[in-house]
Amino acid sequence: MKKFVTIVSLSFLVMFSSLFASTSNAEAAVNSRLLIAEAKKLIGTPYRYGGTTPKGFDCSGFVYYTHKKIGKILPRTSKQMYQKGKTVHKANLRPGDLVFFNTSKSKKGVSHVAIYIGSNQIIHAVSKGVKIDSLNNSYWKSRYVGAKRL
């Protein structure tokens, strides 16, 4: 009888914990959809160095602002953002992941951040304003540094 109770208890525990795991995955998917919806509302917003509002964004200001709109507070710069989250291989990107690039000819490390939106596309603030680009674009492909999942 003791074995049966232990097995039933363990089965219940596994079932109960998997319920929470799937809830967090579902919550992450909802947050990603909300994040991308907020980001897409800002397409066409002009670029502004140091900008963190819809009057104008730089890359990290855009990522900071969109995350703040869904209740997540991130560090302010792309370099600081790159220190957060879990590293994700490019082949395993999911919508909502942050994608990092080095656009500086003279410096090493991270100098640009974008939000992955699926289908090999990113949304970000560049000199032409907030827009969607392909990760397959030769410019971004050659400057790719890595990705993080928050």
Note whether 54 and 42 are within 8 A (CB). yes
**Is-catalytic flag, 124?**
yes
**Is-catalytic flag, 112?**
yes
For residue 11, the SS3 value is helix
- Name the catalytic one among 124, 126, 140, 147: 124
Note whether 131 and 123 are within 8 A (CB). yes
- Name the catalytic one among 36, 47, 112, 130: 112
Instruction: Count Cα neighbours of 138 within 13 Å in the Cβ-side half-sphere.
Output: 0
**Is-catalytic flag, 89?**
no
- Name the catalytic one among 35, 36, 39, 59: 59
Host H or E run for residue 114: strand 112-118
Which one, of 85, 77, 98, lies nearest residue 32 by Cα? 98
Tokens of residue 72, six digits: 């997540």
Maximum C-alpha span of the chain = 71
Q: Which are the catalytic amino acids?
A: 59, 112, 124
